[in-house]
Chains A and B, each alone.
Chain A
Amino acid sequence: MKLEQQIPRNALIWIVLAQFSLLLPHLGRVPMWLVLVYVAAAGTRVLVYQGRWSFPSRGVKVVCAATCLGGIWLSYDSLIGLEPTVALLLVAFSLKLLELAQKKDAYLLLFLAYFVCVTEFLFSQELQVTLYLLAVVTVITAALVALQQPEKLEFSLLPLRRAGVMLLQAFPLMLILFLVFPRIDPLWSVPLQRQAAKSGVSNFMSPGDISNLSLSGDVAFRVQFDDFVPARSQLYWRGLVFSKLEDSTWRALTWSEVPANERRPLVVQNLVGQRFDYSVLLEATQQNWLYSLRYARPSDLGVMSTNDFRLQSPIELEDQKEYRVSSWTDIPIELELSDWRREVETQLPLSGNSRTRELAQQMYSEAGEDSRSFVRATMAMFTEQDFHYTLRPPRLGGNSMDEFLFESRRGFCEHYAAVFVYMMRAAGVPARVVAGYQGGELSPINGTLIVHQFDAHAWAEVWLPGEGWVRADPTAAIAPERIERGLQYSMGDDEGFLSGSPLSPLRYRNVAWVNLLRLRLDAMNYSWQRLVMEFDSAKQYNLLSGLIGEISPARIATLVGVIWMLVLGPVLYTLLRRPARAKLDPATLSYLDFCDRMAAQGCVREPRETPADYARRAIEQRPEWGEQVMAITGAYETLSYLPPLQDQEAQLQKLRNLVRGFRPRKQ
């Protein structure tokens, strides 16, 4: 192999470093064996470098590749979709190490590395991820630089510095291109087919589902109110309505269960009362329902209203989504109940939980068959009797309502909501379970309301004549502090709250500075998501028209041109500034003067000719100069090659005088 095709040692280290830092963020997503493959490949490559092993043969490589392919198939049951594709890329990336012999292999590997960064962005574009990948890109670029330095044998940081400087210079140019590059529609549709777990509230609810969510400190969504923030006890974020109970699981009605004439969204005509305008930035859920306060009206075209006053996106959210909503929280909804609706919302399984049914019917008749008094009486029962609000309720059997109501009496919000609706329906009062989030944390930094997964909540809605659907939250009766202050205040630390997120800074919210730091980071993330991740053609239009007024190709070209000049000009200047003339010592200056005088007589000093050689040649040509030439050359050599003398100055003066006195004449 030619020397210039070999990979320098320094570059090899940088390549392995780049690969490893790329693998790191994918660790949670790829099967563990893939990491082992990488470690084995890197180890083999190092042994090959040390000469203790040779490159594996073709057969071995084919077997490795085939095994890994099979492994991916087994791990994902598929080779199509984002995760298997990323796993394939990473496998190719690791195995390429085994045939990393020439520079062109290294280039292939490093360009592939840039592409692996893209796959990471498909999973997350958060600020932290972006900053991390920026560092990784610098390392990849450093590996490219190291490839160009064949003589560097030891590991050196020089490539990293060069890469950093270049990326820093490229950064402002990237910004302007990012701003002006037209955001066109996808060239062809590419479903991501992510296998990521669906997060947040799911479209059915069995006991324990919501309490599981309280283990997580992840952000569900953030809300920015235009002016007023409603009182905390009013912050019921409706996401789903469960109208059907089947096998002790509450679920939403499917599309086919709704008759055609009931499918159109219900709209309130007369909008009165307090109005809140806000925008919601929802994290990717892989679901298509959106969260809003009732009664909500979206202002975006991509958001639809439903027949149970919820908001919905036509597609599943594979990325975060921002939408604007106006809500009238006091307005009555669905004053007239259709027969079909009344039937659906009072339906119960034919049998089971007989004690609960009995109790409900008894209480209903005691309340004088008045729905309003019946609701009040049921709520009072929860407060007055010995009911407990807990994250770890005991498991319930087949007649879960009976067991809960008459035996365990310990439950989380979903238990209370479910049993409340069951009792209402048993008495013939239309009621349904609503799932979503309750409350949120108001950030003092930027005024956004941060709603976490542990804010997940389930409550009930009852239909009262003349009032429409009214919210009824049994949790508010049993554990009012849950509604007033949030779950973190109503639960002791031993209750398992946030136990799914051991490292969440939320656990340390009692430490003031940690809490402040957490909120600051969150505010930054929010701005990042809104300004950068959600940057689209509409935001682009607004920003550009603010910058340059009317948007025309000529103006955009001027803008780009000006920015480029501003950046490339100084870069070129620092790169090419004229070299300062090397400083010469006075003896050499004097000697060069002598050389010039000789040259004027046709005796030019050859490049790299030593003074002695030059003198000899000069005397051969012009013997009559002999004495002077010898004296000057001798004086110069004494001054420049011997250790400094005591009478250095005098010697220098002597040389100067000699040179000045040297006035050869032409022959």
Chain B
Amino acid sequence: MMNVSAPGPLQQLQTSARRRWKRWINRRIPPARSLTLDQKRIFIFPSRVGIFFLLTLLVMLVAAINYQNNMTFALTFLLANLFVIAVLHTFANLSGLTIKAVRANPVFAGQKAEFEIQLSRGAKRRHRALTLKWSDSDTVTVSLDEAQELSVKLYLRTSERGWHTPGRLLIETRYPLGILRAWTWIDLDIRALVYPRPVASGPLPGIASDRPEGTSVPVPGQDDFYGLRDYQTRDSLRQVYWRSLAKGQPLQTKQFTAYADTSVWLDWNMFEGLPAEQRLSHLCYWALEYDQSKDEYGLRLPGVSVSPALSEAHRQRVLRELALFGVDDEA
């Protein structure tokens, strides 16, 4: 008997075919922020309705031959050539369309990311009944009739933090007769930033939950020096106490303190023992909380440090660091 767990030859063939297909389409339609569709990028084939249409024509042809009816011949040939003409019209309905990736708004994991795409046409061209779809997005049908350009928003569900790349966008049309389907798969080189899903946690360690006015709680920070401790690999090099090295002592790190009266450091180490993703989710939650209550907050992740501040740009910076922590940015 065959070993079930090992990939069967069929599966292997499938994977290899998929890989080959990917390589081929990448060569044929390379990723781009903006592109105009031309014959190299458009595929066309009869739709299911079109095949049914051709079957109807076949029946009509048989009727024409059997009844020796010249007008039935003429009608059959007229419709057959209508099919040929429809190939050109359907193709032209897609060709010349310019698609530009505009932006993808950042979202929290689990939400739907909004991708904005701009379609534009040449001065004398019209594009009707275009259907846009990513493999896991909703379908949007638009026409570029009167307007010169049109912005289309597509929503994609996200699951993991980091960069969300939607894959190839399918643009298809069956206009004008529905008997042919012209389509293209384009890689718009667009990606959405996905923040960690905010997850509430118990009160932050070392910070009073009610945060009474004027209470000064030392939390690790950068404001005032208050002592030295042994160097840890993740510590910032700026805070290394180099003199101890000169004295032949083990490397030490300067410890500063920040006061939590108005600003807070959200620290990776606050959630000792929890898995990385959960830590990020908690940090994300607290960042949003502090932002909401208009308190300054900073972020400290291994290798990352954002000093406390309070602004929209700051919020975005913090969330971005959380989203991309440990993610290869260029991937």
| Residues in chain A within 8 A of chain B (CB atoms) | 3-4, 103-104, 107-108, 111, 114-115, 117-118, 121-122, 125, 130, 133, 137, 141, 144-145, 147-151, 159, 162-163, 166-167, 169-171, 173-174, 177-178, 181, 183-184, 186-190, 192, 319, 532-536, 568, 571-572, 575-582, 606-608
Contact = CB atoms under 8 A, between A and B. Distances in A.
B306 interface: no
A606 B103 contact: yes
Contact of B129 (A150, A171, A187, A579): A150
Nearest to B87: A568
B231 to A, nearest CB: 35
B43 interface: no
B69 interface: yes
B37 to A, nearest CB: 11
Given A188-B66, A580-B124, A607-B102, A137 B75 contact: yes
Interface of B: 33-34, 49, 52-53, 56, 59-60, 62-75, 77-82, 84-86, 88-89, 91-92, 95-96, 100-103, 116, 118, 121-125, 128-129, 131, 139, 141, 143, 148, 151, 174-179
A162 B176 contact: yes
18 contacts: A103-B178, A107-B178, A111-B56, A121-B69, A121-B71, A125-B69, A130-B74, A148-B174, A148-B177, A166-B176, A169-B85, A170-B79, A174-B77, A177-B80, A178-B77, A582-B123, A607-B34, A608-B116
Given A532-B70, A533-B70, A145 B123 contact: no
A606 to B, nearest CB: 7
Nearest to A103: B178
B77 A181 contact: yes
Contacts of B73: 178, 181
Given A4-B139, A166-B89, A145 B77 contact: no
Given A114-B56, A151-B141, A170-B81, 12 more contacts: A115-B56, A118-B72, A122-B72, A148-B177, A150-B129, A167-B78, A170-B84, A171-B78, A177-B81, A181-B77, A183-B68, A535-B70
Contacts of A575: 88-89, 91-92
A149 B177 contact: no
A445 B175 CA distance: 47
Contacts, number: 171
A115 B143 contact: no
Contact of A125 (B63, B70, B79, B84): B70
B18 to A, nearest CB: 28
Given A107-B178, A149-B128, A608 B103 contact: yes
Given A107-B49, A150-B129, A170-B81, A122 B67 contact: yes
A111 B69 contact: no
Nearest to A582: B123
B82 A186 contact: no
Interface centre among A177, A189, A192, A535 (most CB of B within 10 A): A177
A184 B65 contact: yes
B81 A130 contact: no
B63 A178 contact: no
A149 B173 CA distance: 11
B128 to A, nearest CB: 6
Nearest to A106: B178
A133 B79 CA distance: 13
A145 B91 CA distance: 15
B175 to A, nearest CB: 5
Contacts of B118: 607-608
B71 A125 contact: yes
Given A145-B176, A148-B175, A568 B80 contact: no
Given A114-B60, A174-B78, A580 B122 contact: yes
